[in-house]
Amino acid sequence: KLSDLITWAPGNDDINVSRVTLKQRPEWRRTKSADEQHKRDLRINVINDNFEEGASGSNDMELLVRGPDGQINKDGFNPFFADKFGVFQMAIYYKFDGWFINIESNLLGGERTARQLIQWLKYLTQEMHKNIQTFLINRYDSVTTAGQIKYQNILNDKNISFFNVCDGLFTNYWYDKNGPTFSAMAAGQRSRDVYTGIDTYGRGTYGEAIKHGKTSAGIFAPAWTFFEVSGDTFANDRLFWVGSPPGVVSKFLYGYSIGITRWINKSEMLKAMCLLDRRPGVADYVVPKCVPKSTSFYTNFSLGTGHQFFIEGKSMIGLQDWFNLSHQSISPNNLTFQLPRPNSLWWDYTFDTAYNGGTSLAINSSGQFILPFAKLPLYTLSLQFPLQTPLKLSITYLPKQTDLKLSPYIKIESNSINNSTQGQSFITSEGALVPDSANTVQIELVSDFGAVTSQSFTPTNTISRNNGWITSEFILTRSIFRDSSSSTLSGDVTIRNDLVIQELGISLYNLKNPTSHNITRQLLGYVGELSIIPQNTKPDINIEMVQNVEFERKMFDTPDLDELSDEVIFVWGIIRWNVTSTPNQESSTHTHINPNADLLDASVEKQLALTPAVTSLENTFAYYNIYVGISPSSLSTSPDLNELTFLGISDTTQFSICGYGVMKSEVDGLAIWIQGVYEIDGSGVDKTKWGMVWVDLKN
């Protein structure tokens, strides 16, 4: 209820707002869920505010616009809850990008309350924009200016007053084929701020009409594939969003209204349905977004769920389902090769094995001849090649074919390369290189004229991991890429300063018979991690350790079973800890990596180089692994993982132990270990700086 918000303040107990529970979060990790959305460049992390749906009248709306004390200002409303939602309150604390306001009940005060609600929305929008210019306040097409629930299905004079004071309107889906055009006419220059609803059930929806009307689109009930379609949930969801491969019969029905049949009268849709070519998905009509710009990139392909939990290729909890969205990693945004097709390479997620997390990418072949090299695009990037710092390109994979090797490839673009008749605008300090080795990184150099030069480089380091996993690392420097068209009188060539990594994927090398990989469907290997990380040789801080580990709310009990009551003890409690750091002695004089370094002149760079580093610990660790040991060696400062039992993971600086059972006759106590994991590469664990607490079971 809305009244639950009256006493809410950042950091207090759990609350429930409009059927959406927002739990208390520790100060430095409270935005973890939102951060996971941001790194995928999802525009709005919204809360759907259904204050009271389908009721004849709502007291909550009176409370919303009049406040707890009932005092209204000169504009006719009370800003109490607007301030609570927005400015320096919930939206800031939980790091939201916007609010989606959905009021589906008649207003008790009718037109009067509607006028107050309009002023309330105006105030909330203006105040949020003052603090966060990109913040969005969107509203659902429900209550009219008369204070009644009458879905208009378009933007018109009955709801435009709400639209004029906020950032957008999500229309209901009962419009006719001219509805989006009417909405666009009413919105004028803001036509893209109207999100015309598309109902996945097919109720009264005209998808093509949105394109012609030039409004935006909003998808209603995207969980339809889960609730209404039988069979494999993941396969159904992928069929809806990505579509089917060629020649696969669609098992989806295109809705049940007559309106939807008018939408599928295009030739390609009829071909997909009648000639069994393929069923297009949402991705056929939406251009994939580029991975957000950054100075680095990392993914372990985790979906935030799994049937096992893996750390460095080792299953830690056996067959046990888990779910935690904060452990979701960046998924490939190049969907062209996600589905099996004749004579092609393709990828899919697998729950069978992973390197870190619950899932990895399975690389498959469908009758594809690898002669001797093939590539599989995964990500569209826009990553600036650093001016001073080398890049480390890394892949961790598990091969399933002895005569095949996997490695990364990148595509690098320069916007100012001169065209060449042979398409080769780069040379390397080592001379021309070709993909003649299995363990190489493939690089494509692309000019703005489309010229491509392919080169390969041998790995700097190859590491054997647990259970057959292999990590290959490649160090790339800007000096590798020289512009042969800009040579000086002395014969020197210019090092390019405008290089952008625009694509990242997987290379496959066939070491033996060129026709050995042409089976209808064959698993070639798994990819567990892929990263591009600047090589900072001198870190700004030294992580002291996970320290001040405490065991609180201890409780020990024994089972009711007579035969076990004298032998087994169960441990309950909460582990808490913190992290500290000290500035690196050399960090005050080393050059900081700046993503805009190419735009800085020498004087500014020199000034930055002399500026002491100030580093926050807020995101030092992405998460923590929790272990328990019972052997004497587990008390050492650097424990042996083989003698520890994995308990779980934590995104915060606390962890609950719920009934961990041990034999009383075998141990005097438990050594509980906390291990921090860095966010940037998932494997950056400093095994010499653990935190530990001893739980005495004898006293």
Q: What are the tens digits of pLDDT across the range 537-556?
A: 444 445 556 777 887 766 66
Report pLDDT for 283: 79
CB 321 within 8 A of CB 306: yes
For residue 62, report the phi and psi dihedrals to the nearest 5 degrees: -65, -40
Copy the structure tokens of residue 626: 């929790």
| Residue 509, SS3 per DSSP | strand
Report pLDDT for 121: 95
- How many Å from the N-terminal Cα to the C-terminal Cα in the chain? 47
Total count of residues recorded for the chain: 699
CB 641 within 8 A of CB 675: no
- Per-10-residue mean pLDDT for the chain, 699 residues long? 75 44 39 49 45 60 90 92 78 80 90 95 92 89 93 96 96 91 96 92 77 90 81 79 65 36 45 57 76 77 90 86 82 70 77 93 75 78 78 88 79 55 29 35 46 52 83 77 49 58 82 55 87 65 65 63 62 80 46 30 34 40 81 66 81 78 76 77 58 78
Q: Are strands 391-399 and 494-495 parallel, antiparallel or unpaired?
A: unpaired
For residue 283, report the phi and psi dihedrals to the nearest 5 degrees: -65, -20
For residue 11, report the phi and psi dihedrals to the nearest 5 degrees: 95, 0
Report pLDDT for 370: 58
What is the Cα–Cα distance from 258 to 267, expressed in whole angstroms?
18
Report pLDDT for 652: 75
Q: What are the tens digits of pLDDT across the range 76-135?
A: 999 999 888 876 578 777 778 888 898 888 999 999 999 999 999 999 999 999 888 888
Q: C-alpha distances in angstroms, 512 versus 166, 456, 518, 543?
A: 63, 19, 13, 47
What is the Cα–Cα distance from 662 to 694, expressed in whole angstroms?
15
Report pLDDT for 406: 80
Report pLDDT for 254: 36
User: What letter represents residue 382's amino acid?
Assistant: S
Q: C-alpha distances in angstroms, 169 versus 15, 101, 160, 424, 574?
A: 28, 10, 9, 50, 45
Q: Which of 450, 453, 473, 475 is nearest to 463 (CA)?
A: 473
CB 683 within 8 A of CB 312: yes
List of domains in the chain: 2-170 (no CATH), 297-534 (2.60.120.260), 541-696 (2.60.40.10)
